[in-house]
Structures are given as C-alpha cells and as structure tokens.
Structure 1
Amino acid sequence: MTAPGPGTVRPGGRTARVRDAVREATLAELSDRGYQGLTVEGVAARSGVHKTTVYRRWGSADGLVADALDRAAAEPWPIPDTGSLADDLRALARLVADGFADPVEGPIARAFVLAPAQSGDAARSLHSFFARRHEQAAVIARRAVERGEVPEGTDAAEVVRVAVAPLYYRLFITGEPADGRAADRAAAAACAAARAGALTAAPDP
C-alpha cells in the first residue's frame, strides 16, 4: 500500500476544510510572491493552519504547488461551443491569453508554469494538468470532425496544443505580448493546419 498523497488523509470534514484553506493560501501566496517566495511558513500563516500540519501533509512548498495543480486539473474548464472550429479555437486561445493577463490569476498561472523547472513533483503535476486540459478541450476538434470541417483522424489534442503553444512561447521564451491579436493568429494557424490535414494522428510504427 502506498502512502496517501499530499492533503489526502481522511478526506472530508475537518481535513477537507484544512486542505481548502491551505490551497487558497497557496494560490494567494503564489499571486503575491511568486514561486520563489512561496514557503510553508507563509502558507501556514495565511491559512491559519499550524505549520506542523502543513509540513506533515504537504512536506514542502513543492508539495503545496503539486497539490494545487492536481486539484486544478480535476476542475472543469469552460470549453467554447460556437458551432465553428475557427471561432471555438479563437475563444479558447483568448481564454488562455486573458488568464495570463488577469492581475490575480496571471501571476498564479505563471508560477505554475515556472515551478517545474525547479521541482520534479511540480513537473509531474503540471504534465498531468495539461494532459487533462488538452483532453477537456479536444472536444472542440472532435465536433469539427463530426461537422466535416476537418479530416477524419485529426489529432484533437494536437489541434489544441497548436492553438495555444504560440502564446506560451511568447510568454515564457521571447517575452513578447501574448494579447488578443496573438491569440487570434495562433487559433487561425491551428484551424488552417487542421483543415489542411496537417494535424492528423500519426500512424503507429
């Protein structure tokens, strides 16, 4: 039997309230201080949970980030359904761009993306988070296949990746603006590639 993960001991009741309080405090600390400034002591003080409890259940700042990402991955994402692949992808890309531009959510999202460079636990949790998000959003491309907008065999998750990847490149590699115009261009490129059959699933080797 493996040991329970961070914050998962005896779910429900007081433990659930403690986990919620610690998660909210973790997000607030990430927003105010970023990943580098995140500490167990800071989260404990903000949440009102004794630091001994936080250490015992989450272990470290990395454990706090990993748990917050794991919980975020399980939450639903507002997937656009406009009746058009082009419009769905545009709305999705703008959702991502707007999230990073938000004065509260933006710093948290940036901290989540940057944390894996220094934490293996955070890297694994971020991978799971994106896998879940891609799967949730893949319905956009599946609907497009059903409507005949894109070829059968289109890799639905890859369409989503192509639509949002340029925004992450701008934000975390080049430092260029990832605004509405950039979101629209990325979405249009993904839509064109999907319609041209460039994003069909690769055959098994």
Structure 2
Amino acid sequence: MRIGIIGAGHIGGNVAHQAVRVGHEVILSFSRDPATLRAFASGLGDRAAVGTPREVVASADLTVLAVPWGVVGLALEQAGPLDGRLVVDTTNQFGSGPGPAPGQTAAAFNASRMPEARYTKSFNTMTSGFQAAVAGRSGHSRVVQWLCGDDEEAKKVVAGFVESLGYAPVDLGGVADCAVMESPRRPNAVYGEEYRLADALAVVDAVRAGRPIPPTPAYR
C-alpha cells in the first residue's frame, strides 16, 4: 500500500517507520521544517517520498492525519478535497483549537470536519515510543491498536494495515461510541493503556452493552 502521512512527528513518524519496515511505501508532508522532513524521508530509504498534503491525499491508499490538535483545521485546508479518501485520524484533543460539543467524542467532531472522507480513528491511545517498541510482536503478546469509524469497509482496510505493522486491530464501533479510546488517561478508559486481544474483546463487549469496561489488565 501507499501510505500518506500528514504530520511526520512522533506518531506519524512511527507509523512511517513501521510501514516502510514491512514493505509499504510512504509519502510524508506537513512540516514546519521542510529540510528536516526531507532528511527523515531519506533516512527511511527508497520507499519514502515527500510531497504536499494535497499530493499525499491524491496519491495515497490511506492517509494518516498525525498533527497537533490545534492545527487539524490548517492541515485539512492544505489537504484539499477528501472526497472518498480514506483518512486515519491519530489526533488527541490537547491544547488549543475548536473542540467537541458536550457529550460528543473527538472522533465524531473530527469526522464532522471532513464529512466527505472515509473517516477512521486509530494509533492514538499509546505513546509513539511504546508503539515502536511493541510493533511486530506475535501470538498472544501482540498489542492492540484500537480503531473506530462509521465506514465498515474503510475500517477493514485500516485493520489490515494495522495488522501488517504487527499490532492487533480491535474495532470499538462507530465514532459516537469510542470515548473510552480517547484522552485523557482515566479510569474506565483504554487510553494510555496496553491491551492484548482477549482483554480488548471484553472491552468491546462492555462498550456495546453500555456497561463499565473491565479493570485495566497488567502484563508481565
């Protein structure tokens, strides 16, 4: 697959590293320092290129949005039309910028900012360093990457991409139902926590039933 990255900071940079590692191509964009972005792409090898956000959206099979919350609007403006394009939102609501209405998830809010996109959310619950350290585990030790979205076919594509990087994709449902995967770290949420597949499926069952999720697991 050709993976577009809008914002090659910690999270976007790790997604780019992991994507290249397993044979995907990446195209990177949206940096305050173009020279640094070019150097980063060069370090990834011949599977990486640099372009504008608009070029990323036009050429990628899926586009990862990995910018600070306060510049989401600017990044989307530079990306241009998203008609039918698959977007993976990794952002968390920290810092300045418009935010969700009371009771609205950040995913639902961002999906409303790009209604023409095939919107999904993932890669937002763990630090980039932890994601890098656990990518590629196998069997029961594989770490979960949560995802949500209202487009079932888009989520299947994203789940396949997540799995290719060596994580276990777990679908929490639609954008209105994914509060437990959003910041901040707190009781009765999966944000900031490591999960393996069996424990994650118990969380999904609880969310769908409208009851509190099980206690956070601990792994050796």
TM-score exceeds 0.5:
no
| Structure ID, larger Rg | 1
Higher relative contact order (CA 8 A, sep 6+): 1
**TM-score, scaled relative to structure 1:** 0.33
Greater helix proportion: 1
Q: Which has the higher strand share?
A: 2
Q: TM-score, normalised by structure 2?
A: 0.32
